[in-house]
Copies of this chain bind each other. A is one copy, B any other.
Amino acid sequence: MTTDFKLDITLTTQKKEIPPFDQLVFGTSFTDHMFMWDYTEGRGWHDARIVPYQSIPLDPAATVFHYGQSVFEGLKAYRTKDEEILLFRPDQNMKRFNKSNQRLVMPQFDEEFALHALKKLIEIDRDWVPNLPGTSLYIRPFMIATEAHLGVDPAKNYKLMIILSPVGSYYKEGINPVKIAVENKFVRAVAGGTGDAKTAGNYAASLLASEIAGENGYSQVLWLDGREREYIEEVGSMNIFFKMNGEVITPALNGSILDGITRKSIIELLKYWNIPVTERRISISEIQEAYNEGILEEVFGTGTAAVISPVGELFYNNEKLIINNGETGALSKKLYDTITSIQNGTAEDVFGWTVKL
Interface centre among A138, A142, A152 (most CB of B within 10 A): A152
Binds B, one of A114-122, A207-215, A272-280, A312-320: A207-215
Chain B residues with Cβ below 8 Å from A208 are 102-105
A284 at interface, CB cutoff 8 A: no
Copies in the complex: 2
- Does A203 belong to the interface (CB within 8 Å)? yes
Which chain A residues (108-154) contact chain B, with CB distance < 8 Å?
Answer: 138, 140, 142, 144, 148-154
In Å, the complex CA distance between A117 and B295 comes to 61
Interfacial chain B residues near A242, Cβ < 8 Å: none
Inter-subunit contact A203/B152 (CB<8 Å): yes
From A68-76, A257-265, A322-330, A335-343, the one touching the partner chain is A68-76
Question: Given A65-B64, A66-B142, A152-B207, are A193 and B200 neighbors across the interface (CB < 8 Å)?
Answer: no
Q: Are B187 and A192 in contact (CB under 8 A)?
A: yes
* Per-residue contact bits, chain A 192-210, to B (CB 8 Å; 1 contact, 0 not): 1110000111111111101
What's the Cα separation between A170 and B103 when bound, in Å?
25
Complex contact A205–B211 (CB within 8 A):
no
Q: Contact: B210 with A152, CB < 8 Å? A: yes
A185 to B193 Cα, complex, angstroms: 9
A66-99 interface bits toward B, Cβ cutoff 8 Å, 1 = contact, 0 = none: 1111101000000000000000000000000000
The interface-forming segment of A13-21, A27-35, A246-254, A286-294 is A27-35
Which of chain B's residues have a CB closer than 8 A to the CB of A66? 70, 72, 140, 142, 200, 203
A132-189 residues with Cβ-Cβ distance < 8 A to B are 138, 140, 142, 144, 148-154, 161, 163, 165, 170, 185-189
How far in angstroms is the closest Cβ of chain B from A50? 13
Say yes or no: is A226 at the interface (Cβ < 8 Å to chain B): yes
Does A347 count as interface, using CB distance less than 8 angstroms? no
- Given the complex, which residues of B lie within 8 Å of A194, measured CB to CB? 201, 204-205
Residue in B closest to A183 when the chains form the complex, CB atoms? B192
- Which A residues lie at the B interface, using CB under 8 A? 26-28, 30, 34, 53-61, 64-70, 72, 102-105, 138, 140, 142, 144, 148-154, 161, 163, 165, 170, 185-194, 199-208, 210-211, 226-227, 229, 236-237
